[in-house]
Amino acid sequence: MDFMHNTVYEDEPIIANLQENILRIKKICDYSSDLLVNEINVSGVNVALLCCEGMVSSSILTELILLPLTSINLNESSPQNLYDHINTKMLLSTDRISLFTYGNLFRTLNSGFAILLIDGLDKAFAFGVQGYDKRGISEPTGEGNIMGAHEGFVEVVRTNMSLIRRRIKSPTLKLELMMTGSKSKTDICLCYMRDRVPEKLLNDIKKSLNKIDLEVILSSGYVKPFVENKSNGFFDAVGTTERPDVLCSKLMEGRVAILVDGTPFALVIPKLFNESFQTLDDYDFKPYYATFIRWIKYIAFFISVLLPALYIASSIHHPELLNSTLLLILAEAESNAPFSIIAEAIGMLIAYEIIREAGIRLPKAVGGAVSIVAGLIIGDAAVKSGFVSTPLLTVIAISVISGFLTPDLHQQTTILRILFVLFGGLWGLFGISLLAAVFLFNICSTEDYGFPVTAPISPFTPKAMRDIVTRINFRKMQSDTFTIESLKSEKQN
């Protein structure tokens, strides 16, 4: 295969001669089997229609392109006249592009466009007649909601764009398509509200996207590191969502979203830490109930991260914190366990992670077996055999269940839980405090394009805190529009 021959085609102009043109195209793609070439004569001019097998809709191609083309009858047959006739007097497709280089030709061809080459012209038409198989719009798997929409993003960026446009019909919503990935030429779409987004944020994000120099972009995870301004943060500074309604609410606050073709997860910049505790359902429930649920989540996060560590710290170093009854129960339970309490706790946490990961990766048919092995055999048998103590198992179980309330923070919660267990076991509450201080400093240092993740708690913004401490009433929300502009870092104010 002639690699050098292939890579120089990017800016190469299209050849006017049809046969040489077709030959050149076939050489560039090395006679790939999915390239379909149909040569026909239209009003005395030789043309060729190219498409990728399986990428176009045959019915749309036939009805919108082939039939109208074959019915053309020019007074004076010439390549330029044919081009002008198609360009000015025929619609054929709402998505129509003129192509001048092989780079653009292949990008559109491989995106499901049909390409029309005209003998004697050094340009071509691309018609948007995509018909490849794609997943239908379904409920997002990771972000459940009771009262919100049951629509989630899909893998096709243009479908996702339409899901956003349907929800925000304002002309100030801008959807800017760009391409990234030197080989994959993946479409990514920058979404923002022109009248809300801070200009500096938008420009900085565009600069970051222009710096991406990868060959392939297969998911939003490939783009995320480039738009996470300071990547030393333990917590995410860029959010992801699968829900168009959530994305729209973020856009209305002046944030920028990035849709990546091939993945249903959109990126949202910037992200605030407190958003991990918010769902769209909060705004469908009564404020008092939504506030209650939100506080349950805050408490659950701390339980998830700290409960095993506090249990171990109080058992080993601070037994005076427990009342006498509890102390006796724990002492009896731990006296029969063969391993140290720290080893037990870390072992149980790792076992849980193994089971959880197995549950995700295993085929669905085997998933049931995992539940039986994990729940009955490991849980029940481990306690009965005396490998682990029941109180510790209960604490671990409460901790992991609490972690389910904040799935967005799953990665951080998992690691923090284990680290706190280690520090709590070694140095008690003092160790827990020191580690908590380290992560406090880390999260306070995390900011994306000048927007600190800890806002509006620190830097403290009283108005924005209303939606942290409680879920404020919509009547109060409508009186002043909140945007992220008010949460900028102190340096930028």
The residues binding another protein (CB under 8 A) are 316-318, 320-324, 427-434, 436-438, 440-442, 444-445, 452, 454, 457-460, 489-491, 493
With CA atoms as reference, report the closest residue to 235 among 369, 82, 378, 408. Answer: 408
* CA 291 to mean position of chain CA atoms: 27
Distance of closest approach, residue 433 Cβ to another protein, in angstroms: 3
Q: Which is nearer to another protein, 185 or 317 (CB)?
A: 317
Provide, rounded to whole angstroms, the least separation between the CB of residue 443 and another protein.
Answer: 9
Burial class (CB in 10 A: 0-12, 13-18, 19+), 293: middle
Residue 419 has which token pair? 């680290």
Whether residue 261 contacts residue 286, with contact meaning beta carbons closer than 8 Å, is answered with: no
Q: Are 69 and 108 in contact (CB under 8 A)?
A: no
Distance in Å, CB of 442 to another protein, minimum: 8
Nearer to another protein, 196 or 318 (CB): 318
Nearest C-alpha neighbor of 45 from the set 17, 65, 8, 87: 17
Nearby residues of 327 by Cβ (< 8 Å), 6 or more positions away: 319
DSSP state letter for 380? I
Nearer to another protein, 220 or 229 (CB): 229
Question: Cβ(79)–Cβ(44) under 8 Å?
Answer: no
Could you tell me if 244 and 152 are in contact, meaning their C-beta atoms sit under 8 angstroms apart?
yes
**Greatest C-alpha distance within the chain:** 103
Query: Of 104 and 446, which has the nearer Cβ to another protein?
Result: 446
Q: Quote the CA–CA distance of 365 and 373 in Å, as a whole number.
A: 14
Dihedral angle of Cα 474, 477, 478, 484, to the nearest 10 degrees: -140
**CB nearer to another protein: pick between 175 and 465:** 465
Q: Give me the least distance between CB of 449 and another protein, in Å please.
A: 15
- Residue 311 CB, shortest distance to another protein, in Å, is 14
Question: Minimum Å distance from CB 398 to another protein?
Answer: 19
- How many angstroms separate the CA atoms of 149 and 146, rounded? 8
Minimum distance from CB of 303 to another protein (Å)? 16
Q: Closest separation between CB of residue 427 and another protein, Å?
A: 6
Q: To the nearest whole angstrom, how small is the minimum distance from the Cβ of residue 319 to another protein?
A: 9
Question: Tokens 């409680």 map to which residue?
Answer: 470
Cα distances (angstroms) measured from residue 211 to each of 8, 107, 219, 257: 22, 20, 17, 18
Separation CA 12–CA 99 (nearest Å): 11
